[in-house]
Every structure is written in structure tokens, then in C-alpha cells.
Chains A and B, each alone.
Chain A
């Protein structure tokens, strides 16, 4: 496949409330597809070709070489060139110099690379950078700065919720998501569940849970 040069295609439209509203009729399409296949068998070659051309319009390809994309990271538009195989984690760390998210297992097993994609926690090691185009990426750097910390970051300092620090950026993103989700009602069980996918080999979990609860209560 040929490499795309800018200006490149805009990102596909994201699902909107209107899409949700039309979902029932889409299901109707699914149910009718069997009949469509039968009628397709009756179509002549010309119609088949026309249909194939229509299908071709419904596909775009990227790579395997470098693809220029624009990522929206921590509220800023950042242009980068990545191969489709480049993970969001690699793009953030190696292209955008955002080294908060950590590469540890790179197999969705440790949580050190936890970031937010459209406001939800994901492991950046298992997201492709090309997928993140048109979506909102938030890393620990975007949550707050040393002089203007997010409540969870401040609570991590206050509760001494880190030892070696390698899991910390992921822990902070997971805790901040839980605080965003549950607000001041966050329970210890909910905080525990929120960081279930973030491993800490130092064993700092009790302090992490205290920090999450402190941030939630706005102390």
C-alpha cells in the first residue's frame, strides 16, 4: 500500500447520540443481510463490479510504512509519523517525549502504561497510535504539573503513595479515573477495583488507596 501524504483523510466520524438512535434500524440491516446475499448471487457481473467499487470506497488503508497522523494529547494537537504497528505508548514516549507512561510488560499485564483514551483508562501498550487519531489522549503529564497538581497527584505526595515510582504514573491515572467516576462517594472497595490492573512490586497499595480516598474527599 502507498504511503499517505498530507493533507490526509480526516478521521472517521465518531459515534454520536444520533448513531445510537439509529442502532435498531442497523440491526434490521443485519437481519436482512441473508436475503441480500441471495439476491447478490442473482446479480450480473456488471452489478458485482459496481458493488465492489462501492465497497472499495468504504475502506481506507494505512501503512505498512510511516503514516502522518495528528494526535490530540493533553489538549494539544501533535503531528507525528508512525507505522501502524507503533503503539500509542511508543508514540507518546519516543516521538512526543511524554515519558510518564512506562513500558514494563508491554503485554497488558502490569498497568504501568495506563493513560486515558477519550477519558477512559486504557493500556497504551495495547492501543495502536493510528487508532488514537481523532480521540482525546490524556497522560499523567496532562493531569497536572508540579506547581499545579491534580488532586490525586497531590494526594500521592501527601500519602507517600510511591516507592520506586515506576507504577506511579499508571496508578495516578487509574485513581484519577476512579475519582472522576465516583467523586466524593468513592469507597475503598471501588478504589481497590480501580487499581486492580496496576501492579506495584514495592507493595505500596495501602498508601495508594489512602491517596485515592483523600483525593476523592477533596482533603
Chain B
């Protein structure tokens, strides 16, 4: 790893100022960042650490029933915290399945959302990669290793988005709290992503001197069910091949008044299965509409020759996540 200066602000304002001044990289748990630095994929001259900024690990139930999650909350805390388990059960479940206990003790919610793709071409400096400035994505080439690559929106870059928490939070309508030199802003997580561009490593549409400060999940306004499912190659300590967070709003007759179905690891950013959502709306929530929605979730897939199997996994993950929701997890306060 290249030598760097460790900048330790004690406040968010000071952190933002330090980022603007040094052009450094944001450091919190360091799980993903240090990996990239060891591989010389990233070589920042400064790390601006958030470890000395107090209060970033707050979890609070708001008066209106929304849930405020500090960006520094660890995945272990998300998995174990009573407020999260009770009101955001699909999030607690996704966090508890991520990585390993030792990583969950360190990895933060903000870092989970800001982490870079696990695409091997991106993470090994000697390979060329569109996100790191090359003209073309080697995954898409005839010789590309494509097993874990994206099956939706996979041109010009076929990297898969790694976060399993992002689809869940997006399905819950989460807002990202961001702070930069011009102050704080709030952006819908659904609108926080940007499509891959040549030379742009990150998937979040944030400026280099902006920080994620919090994630706020709004209160539910109607009865709802939530679910989460991920499919992995190994039973534990593995990245999801496909992950899926769902939220289904029901009217008084048990019909679906609204549905949110978001997939992870299938596109360069979290992927909204709009056709699946449409297939559920207005239907009595049950096995048949779930099967139809799961089938519809594969619409628009453009798998590569090496990952057609992932399209089938999309159907499986959506069906299981919706079935979990049907079976019970209500989620949300009030």
C-alpha cells in the first residue's frame, strides 16, 4: 500500500473541509478501501477518517415513525439492534447475512453503500477496466470471466453492484443524508446512483468532497409486508449472486396497492424490477401473483454467454423474497 497521510477530523464539517482540501478518500471501517489500496487500484495521498467523528453510529426511531441510521452504524449493529430488527426486519436480515462476524464488526452502513464493485477486472490493477479509464469493459469480451457479472443494463460496463443492503433500503424508500461544502442535502437512494462511465469508479452520484451522514427510512403510511432473499454460491461468508429486497403495500382487502422490488448484484447499480412491481399491483397478494411477478422480473435481461444462469436466479430470488413478505414480516413503525 502506498504511504498516505491519515487525516482525523472530529466533526462532519471538518471532514468535508478536509476532503475538499486534500482530495483524499473517505475512511470509516476501511474494509473495502484498504483492499483496493493494497491492490493499488486506489492510491489516495490522504485518508480522511470518520472514526473520530462522534455520534455517527446512532440508530433512532423518529417521532413520525421513520428510522434514522447513522452512516457509521456497523453491519453487526444493524443485524442486532432492536429498532432495526423490529421496524426494518428485511434490513436486519440482509446485514446479518453479509460477510463474516469480524467484517460486520467493522463495516459501516455508509461504506456498504459506497463500496466498489467486486468485479475482478476492476479490482486488479493490471487488468484494464472501463471504470478505471479503459475504452472497453473486458468482462464483455469473448474471453471475459462473466459468471458474477451483470445481467441487466450491462453495457458498456458489466460490473455487478455489490451491496446487499442497498436494494433493501431502496425498496423501503430510504433517503440518503449527504453533507458537502455547501451544506446538507437529502437524496432518495433510488436517485443516488449513476450509470457506469469511463473513468468513474464510484456508483453513487456524490461529489468527491461529499459525505454520507445518515440513511433515513420513512415511516410506512399503509399496512405493508417486507422481505429479503439472497442467493450465494456458499452458505456463508460469500457475496450474493443475486439479492432482492421487497416491500408490498396492501389495501384493506389484502390487494397490493404498491410494490417495490429491488435487486442487487444483477446490474451496475441496484436494479428496480418495474415489470415485477406492475405484475403485483391490484392483485390479491398470494402465490400466483408472486410467481407471475418473479417471472416478470427477468424481463429486459441481457445476459452474457457466461452468466445466463443468473437470469433464473433473479426469478428465484424475487419469488422467495415475496414469499417471505407474504409469510409475515410487516416492517415499518406504527
Contact = CB atoms under 8 A, between A and B. Distances in A.
Interface in A130-174: 130-131, 174
Interface of A is mostly: mixed
B312 interface: no
Given A24-B60, A108-B103, A197-B102, A59 B18 contact: yes
A121 B102 contact: yes
- Place the interface of chain A in its size category: 35 or more
B54 A15 contact: yes
B1 interface: yes
B245 to A, nearest CB: 22
Interface centre among A37, A55, A117 (most CB of B within 10 A): A55
Contacts of A114: 102
Interface string B1-13: 1111111111111
Interface string B88-109: 0000000000011111011000
Interface in B236-265: 236-237
Contacts of B183: 33-34, 36-38, 40
Given A126-B30, A197-B102, A58 B10 contact: yes
Interface of B is mostly: mixed
Contacts of B18: 59
A19 B54 contact: yes
Contacts of A37: 182-184
A128 interface: yes
A121 B12 CA distance: 28
Interface of B: 1-14, 17-18, 29-31, 34-35, 37-38, 45, 47, 49, 51-52, 54-55, 57-58, 60, 68, 76, 99-103, 105-106, 177, 179, 182-185, 213-214, 236-237
Interface of A: 1, 12-13, 15, 19-20, 22-24, 26-27, 30-31, 33-34, 36-38, 40, 52, 55-56, 58-65, 67, 83-85, 87, 106-108, 111, 114, 117, 120-123, 126-128, 130-131, 174, 177, 192-194, 196-199
